[in-house]
Structure 1
Amino acid sequence: MGRHSLPDSHAAEGRRGHPSTRRRTVAIATLLVLAVATGTAVAAKGGLLSFSESCEDSAVRLSVVASPDIAPAVRSIAEQARADEVKADGHCLVVEVLARDAHKVAEALAAGDTEPDFQVWLPDSDLWLERAKGLGEGIPVSPSDSVASSPVALAMVPSASRALGWPRKTYTWAELVAGALGSDRVRLGAADPARSATGLLALAGIGASSARQGGDSDTRVAQTAKVLAERMSDGDTQVLETLARSTSGAEEGNPKRNQAALISEQAAFTHNTEATGAGKLDLFYPEDGTPLLDYPYTLVNEARLSTAESRAALRFMNLLGDRDAQATFAEHGFRAGDGSAEDSLVAAAGGRKPQPYAEPAVEAPSDEELQETLGMRTITVQSARLTTVVDASGSMATLVPGRNQSRMNVTKESLIQALDQFTPDDEIGLWKFATTLDGEKDYRRLMETKRLGDPAAGGGTHREKLTAAFAALQPVPGGATGLYDTTLASYKEARSTYVKGKFNALVILTDGSNQDTDGISRSGLVTELKKLVDPERPVPVIAIAVGPDADRDEVAEIARITGGDGYEVSDPAEIQAVILQAIMAAGQNGRAAEE
């Protein structure tokens, strides 16, 4: 679903939409109906209205949370609107602008634990909108058009850029990063993709570019992610602070200083505005397409907004699209929402022809592609230790709608595909479970959790043996779902065999609720897990409910005790992507807890 266009004469200027194909729920149209129905559309279009009452007596206050890079520009526009006594439906518009990191806002909205203290959110990328949805239980968000944009590029200090032939030589993403990293030619920094849209879009762009080259692209991207992780910063501002500020021997030779960074054009613009001489940066724009930060104007929990707040939000959205506001954004280094480039802005940011800075932005990666990129990065940078526990109850023989395959067969295929994403240093084991599978026990360990690259008894590697074990899984006729006993037993083993320095987790796949009435109860399982959880040895449970008979809420409640979460897939073929998504989420939660 595309974003709605603005009901404003300025909305059509320079804002023809963004190439993103990400689906959205756009509820701004509700505001338009309200405005037209009450005769305030003219006020929204026409600018200032004359009213006799003082602004302080009639003010409607709006709180906007914006990404730190765009917050100063938005605050400047808001302050000018207040000075000009801009009104929304007869009320003076007073807008407070707060700068907050988008990843923190997204996490808070997804959790939904507290009511937000703001009505409008302006993240740097719409990828955070999907993150904010979480499992669909958080605070709802309603995005509209982009108010500005900035392409992601590779910035270099002059000595490094000229060594790679800037500005005349152009590269694809894959070639550019390979050229920069080849033979340790350039120290390259990047922001954490789990916390930075710039870092994530750049890594996704590198992955897509590498895939177009053919060959073993996954290995190349994994190697790149590992190298970038060695010089990773928490955010975009921190990345800029790692760059050498001059060509002095002390700066250039300092191994702690980067010579290049994956940043936005706007970040380079800000840096160059403050830098002098050789401290300025040059920008490479990949020839196979540059992703955009797109700054979507987003209502937060629209249903709770008062009529006055809704109309004020509409008025401010229109204001951000007018000529003066767009000029303010340009002064701060931002392009228009459609990504169109002004030569003067690009030059100030460090771009120069024939670098392809005016080419259309690349199509935004899908949410699934972004999650897979994050999952791949997590298991590459920090080796994983996963115990996989698969439901083998009789219901796993049920055919999947639209496929001539059982739930078990599709699950096996998805697990084998997921296995390809892991490196030889990752450790993975396998259990299966069904009632009375092994005497009175509901579970059986089929493969020990160990390195995929380790040699196996009888020849081959652990990866090969594990692949064969996945392929051999079969439902147990008449077997029921012994979920609780299995969860407790497998969690105890995963915790007792915890390996420091790895991402340890327990992955449980089930297509039903617990059916073993002779084993531990749900409340008993919850009590035992709470006793076993150790923040110093975290083992999150990643519980995946497969098919319509599984209870996601039940497995989610159990998993969250351990720092993990529950997920639901209607088709077992989705398991691969969900595992990578869950690894990223659990890995990020663990890092946040450590801090």
Structure 2
Amino acid sequence: MSDNEWPRQLPAPDHGDWTEAPQSRGRVLLAAVLVITVLLVAGGVAWRLMSNGTSTPAAQASAAPVPSSTPTVTPCPDPELTVAAAPEIAPLISKFAADLKPAGQRCSPIVVRAEEPGVTVAADDQPDVWVPSSSVWLPIAADRKHVFQTSGATLAWSPIVLAAPPAVAAQYIKDGKTAWTTLIKAVTTEQVPVVTMPDPLLTTTGLLSVHGVHAAAALTTKDPGIAQLRALTLRSRLTRADADPAALITQMSRLTDPGAAAFDVGVFPVVEQQVTAYQKAVPKVPLAAAVPVDGLVQADYPYAVRKGVKTRLAEQLRAAISKPDLAAAGFRTEPTAGGARLPESAKAMLTPAQQWAGFQTVAFQVLLLIDESGSMNERIGAGTETKASLLRESGASAAELFNEETTIGMWYFGAAGAADPAHTEVVPFGPITAGTGGKPRRQALAEQITAYRPRANAGTPLYQSVLDGVDAMRKQAQAGRPSVVVVLTDGADGGTRFAMSNQEFLKRLNAGRDPARPVPVIAVGYGPDANLKALQDMAKATGGQAIAARDPADLASAMAKAFLAARTTS
């Protein structure tokens, strides 16, 4: 075999002629390759350093990205027109807006958001066009410097109805008619187990319902304070005061048992259009609904453009909204006759709603102290009505104001003889739902107030009665159940063996204070003879409130404020 020929087979590993020489040449070749590689790499780095003009290596270009199989979608530009609409009409407005999108264009120039009017009013980002569910929101928005101007006539109307599953509706709907006062009676007599209402500061249904309830109550009495008490009776019995009408409708659509619906949903106000749309879906549990005849209120849907907004596209959208489409969606295209007149000012509309929303349904304990002195027999004005008769009417309404969790008692205070006690218990303290003397405590309370007759020539042991009342309620203190004393008087302390100075009274009142068991005093001073300074002092010392009723006609309103204060003071 010549020197330049390779053998056909390699020798065995232990063959001396082939094991040494090839390994030496392999190591040399491998070493040479490594040296060349290092030199090439080093040279390349050095070249890059020199070409970069710095000691820092130049950045390397990354590998080209692998093309994605999903095409990139360019985000839509900001809309030319933003619209906020009440939830029930927003789908229809969205449809009209979509019809205005130019052919072949993916993005619509109009964006519609569904939200309750109270949410829109509170938002920093105001829409260009607003379709609230009532024009009463426009002055409310204007008070917050959000100025909108209506464009064209009102789009649609829809009255507020009282809706419920048929079994419950039969308790307050007769021959297809109902009334707010009928519902109040059904609630207070426990014929209706559950009533809910939306938040009046966020929703039109809630805001208009509060106005409707007050309008209905005003028809039952000439005194605004008594009317206020009667309206708040419904508020005190609500299972929820912040329910979402749309959520209730959705909840109803999922129910299959009418009996369960009566207790899960019960009675709730809602715009007629939402009930109409619900019934079209043929639910397993239908809704019965009727418009309250004593406080008819209706949603109306204005088309309002924010001041300063370019109107071209806004006008096109307004022109696209058709009455036939609105009617097909369940809205009325004409207003319902006989509706309650709504206040024009935002303050007049919001004040009852704020009081309603701020009303706290708490499980509190209350002791009523009613002045039985002879001055309560004085007449009011030139008529035959007396302070006592007005108190009887106010108190009877107030008795219905307390919720089912209340624990209550009532004393009369007044002493005609030297041996008379400062006060007399006329309704023993206990749960309002429990019995006393063979009848429910709420009924006993109402009967005692109705039978209230001041005693002629009786003095006013105001201070002693308040001291005893606060001490008695302190002994009844329970965690999570605020205790209060509500006192109504038309005079000042005096005329009895219990008389003391205001200084002595406050000294004794402060001496008995226990921060762990607070008992606020809610004091109503009635008439020009009431010692309002003394009432203010006792209220301040106990963390309560003093309410002046300087004019006889203010007594019922003062009573309403007192019972509201009892719920907000703890």
TM (normalized to structure 1)? 0.47
TM (normalized to structure 2)? 0.49
- Say which one has the larger Rg: 2
